[in-house]
Amino acid sequence: MANPMADEMRRFKGSDEKNPFEAMSERFDRAALLLGLDEDLYAVMRVPSREIKVYIPVTLDTGHIQVFEGFRVQHNFARGPAKGGIRYAPDVTLDEVKALSAWMTWKCAVVNVPFGGAKGGIICDPAQMSLGELERLTRRYTSELIDFIGPDKDVPAPDMNTNEQTMAWIMDTYSMHARHTVNAVVTGKPVALGGSLGRREATGRGVLFCVNEAIKRFNLKPEETTVVVQGSGNVGGIGALLMHEQGYKVIAVSDVGGGVYNPKGLDVPDVLNYLKVNKSLDGYPNVDFVDNKALLELECDVLAPCATENQITSENADRIRCKILAEGANGPTTPKADKILHEKGIFVIPDILANAGGVTVSYFEWVQDRMGYFWSEDEVNARLEAKMVASFDELCFAAEKHDVDTRTAAYMMAIDRVAYDTRMRGIYA
């Protein structure tokens, strides 16, 4: 692509392999180059539409006031309202939120739902905060963003360390300002407040649907397929449980402190129940214990990193021993690791497809809220499976058509769809 702006735009890109925004930008550049993306569209699509930074004063239980720093990045509106989660963590950064907002744009486009991407975050340690403090933090953060979010503007959702209670507080705060109930302002709400059946399991279920399709390429059946899952939360735990229920041999699962491994297979429901009761996998009987780094290097058919970013890098990619990498987490693999995995012949189900089950059912929730009619869980799951399988098939077709790896193909699909809508709408000036 002859693009005189490329050098200028690459000012975002540096040498830090683990910087999430740089990783997203590098992949965007490669896909845009292969597509021959128009230089003007390239300039528009590579940067966010809006970055919002807020300072949030919160009265703590001690009576003192602490000011927290929060972000909301709205990456793109070409295909519809922005969509993306809100995370609470001590290590939230603007670069991370920017990268995640862009990933949401591409993720929505890959599964062809009419949203753009957004992401939010607050720098805090929720483990050290009371429920009351978290509520006051959430409500003040919502009020700071009140002019920028809404069912037709930007629809938040849960993410790391936030949940359906957090979404209920956001919905109520927004509704108080609107002077009527607006349940479509967020997704991931309690079912009783307009949430969708099947939403909690949707991301893990989406991983399962993608793995079901991927193993066909290796002539494997579930009962013949060994699976290693990094993570045991809403994605990893549910994904491991659903795969176990479908007959997969899940041989390792981890939490933040490390993992348990049994080459003969784990009783996943029992492992997760033990973790729920004991808050740790330490002491679980009849297994070997491995740390999270060693767990990634176990020999298996399917490796599903479902924890956090930058788990597979240039430092360990050559030691990954799976046939299929199903990225349940956002950004678990760095661009430098991509090249190594591709050379090893590992089939990657990229994050912007593998974990798109959550945003797909969030879209279903938003649709149900807008029409005031709710579907059964079986109907939600059937619609999710149809969407994930169709998107997987489109991804494989694009990879073969363009003779590229699956991650590049996913970016090419997404960028092409967003570019088409942007081109058709034009640039308002």
Query: Using an 8 Å Cβ cutoff, are 84 and 156 in contact?
Result: yes
Q: What is the pLDDT of residue 9?
A: 44
Which residue, among 408, 422, 404, has the nearest Cα to 38 in the 3D structure?
422
pLDDT in tens, 178-230: 999 999 999 999 999 999 999 999 999 999 999 999 999 999 999 999 999 99
What residue ranges define each of the domains in the chain, with the CATH number in brackets?
48-182 (3.40.50.10860), 202-354 (3.40.50.720)
Distances 210 to 224, 253, 338, 349, 411 between C-alpha atoms, Å:
17, 19, 19, 7, 17
- Bridge partners for 43 per DSSP: none
Active site residues: 119
Q: What is the pLDDT of residue 428?
A: 87
Q: What is the pLDDT of residue 18?
A: 81
pLDDT in tens, 5-62: 445 444 444 457 888 888 888 999 999 999 999 999 999 999 999 999 999 999 999 9
Element (H, E) at 318: none
HEC per residue, 158-220: ECCCCCHHHHHHHHHHHHHHHCCCCHHHCCCCCHHHCCCCCCCCHHHHHHHHHHHHHHHHHCC
Please give the Cα distance from 118 to 81 (Å, whole number): 9
Q: What is the pLDDT of residue 104?
A: 95
Q: For the chain, 429 residues long, give each residue's pLDDT as a single digit of tens.
A: 444 444 544 444 445 788 888 888 899 999 999 999 999 999 999 999 999 999 999 999 999 999 999 999 999 999 999 999 999 999 999 988 998 999 999 999 999 999 999 999 999 999 999 999 999 999 999 999 999 999 999 999 999 899 999 999 999 999 999 999 999 999 999 999 999 999 999 999 999 999 999 999 999 999 999 999 999 988 999 999 999 999 999 999 999 899 999 999 999 999 999 999 999 999 999 999 999 999 999 999 999 999 988 899 999 999 999 999 999 998 899 999 999 999 999 999 999 999 999 999 999 999 999 999 999 999 999 999 999 999 999 999 999 999 999 999 999 999 999 999 999 999 887
Please give the Cα distance from 103 to 410 (Å, whole number): 11
Which residue, among 68, 70, 74, has the nearest Cα to 93 in the 3D structure?
70
Q: What is the pLDDT of residue 15?
A: 55
Please give the Cα distance from 244 to 221 (Å, whole number): 13
Q: What is the pLDDT of residue 8?
A: 41
